[in-house]
Structure 1
Amino acid sequence: MSLVNGLPAHVLLVHVVVVLIPLTALALVAAAIWPRAARRLGVLLPALAFAALVSVPLTTQAGEWLERHVESDALVRRHTELGDGLLPWALGLFVLAAVVWWTARGTKRAVPGADPTVAAGSADAVDTAGSARGSRAAALPVRIVVAVLSLAVAAGAVVDVYRIGDSGAKAAWHDAYSKSAHGSQDGS
């Protein structure tokens, strides 16, 4: 894909990346920290991460086409180099989103295996609640690791998107405007 309505596709696709990567990062962190958020997001979390992942190489390829059609300078080359580094971050977001979604699927509000016919104060009820607490306690270190990884990858992805966007804006606009206004305020 090179042109859309006569405009370079990169100029349009970059907006998809700029929205989807931070949105995915935010949803991932929320879901990794709060299991209820993960359950509410459901399959939307990995679907959003997949859309973000797919948008990165599409935007990069359109950017490479655009790079061949503009004058080469250091700012354009820097933007291209930075843009090539976003795919691993997007892949990390997707993998972690899939892990968070998968682990949230197995957690339910009710105690797994609990027999609703067992009286709340009976020995059987205490036994089931104790084993549920034990399994939750065993899962806590995994949740903490996934939450920390999610936070790190989300922060890295968002910072990378910012750096890439900043370098792209500098490459596109560094000599394309006047610092002083021309004409009057009403446009005449």
Structure 2
Amino acid sequence: MPEFINGLPVHALVVHAVVVLVPLSVLGAIVIALWPAARRRFGWLVVGFAAVATILTPIATSSGEDLEKRLPESDLIKAHEELGDLTIWFVLGLLLAVTALMVVSSLPADVWTKPVVIVLAVLSIGAGVLAGVHVYRVGDAGARAVWDGIDQQPAR
């Protein structure tokens, strides 16, 4: 995989896709968990967003490791990397929860489906909140690694 595209690090490009798709997936998970009409209409779209975010997450991690090799050692970068390495588990949990919710919701209504849908809806909301908070923490650590101390640099 190339490390740069048109002079920009691949990591910065892919990370921005993840940073958009995960919150959209989280918002979508909450909406489809709480609103059955939205689940019928947009549920599979939410699954698609979560799937693309899940696919892009290891690419973001790998490209970040490539970029890290070009930079001087930093505790801030190390903290960002450690959090970034965990992201796949949060995003994968969200994907599995919303996929299970959609699969069970798509089954014919039966006595057992309603309680299972409720449990999966709660799990989807929980997985979404966890994924959203984690992606925020990773992004905050990355921003600190990039921008910490920039206000103290001399102006050009």
TM over 0.5: yes
* Aligned pairs for 1:1-188 within 5 A: 1=1, 2-106=3-107, 135=110, 138-178=112-152
Conserved? CA contact 1:60–1:84, under 8 Å: yes
* Letter matched to residue 166 of structure 1: D
Q: For the Cα contact (< 8 Å) 1:45–1:101, is it kept in 2? A: no
Give the % identical residues: 39
Deviation at 1:42, TM superposition (A): 4.4
The answer (yes or no) to whether the contact 2:80–2:145 under 8 Å persists in 1 is: yes
Q: CA deviation at 1:140?
A: 2.8
Q: Which amino acid is 1:57 matched to? A: P
Write out per-residue CA displacement over residues 53-102 of structure 1, whole angstroms, 9 at most, x where no aligned residue: 01100111110001111011111000000000110111111111211221
What is the CA-CA distance between 1:168 and the residue it aligns to? Answer: 0.5
Note the residue ranges of structure 1 that are not aligned, 5 or more in a row: 108-131, 184-188
Q: Any idea what the Cα deviations from partners look like across 1:19-55, whole Å, max 9, x if unmatched? A: 0011011111211222211110143222111101011
Q: Distance in 2 between matches of 1:44 and 1:150?
A: 15
Amino acid corresponding to residue 41 of structure 1 in structure 2: F
CA distance in 1, matches of 2:26, 2:121: 12
Secondary structure, aligned partner of 1:71: coil
User: How many Å separate the matches in 2 of 1:101 and 1:145?
Assistant: 12
Paired letter, 1:33: L
Contact 1:25-1:157 within 8 A present in 2 as well:
yes
TM-score after normalising by structure 1: 0.76
Count of residue pairs the alignment pairs up: 155
Higher fraction of helix = 2
Q: CA deviation at 1:177?
A: 3.0
Structure 2 contact 97–124 (Cα < 8 Å) conserved: yes
Larger radius of gyration: 1
TM-score (norm 2): 0.90
* Displacement of 1:179: 8.0
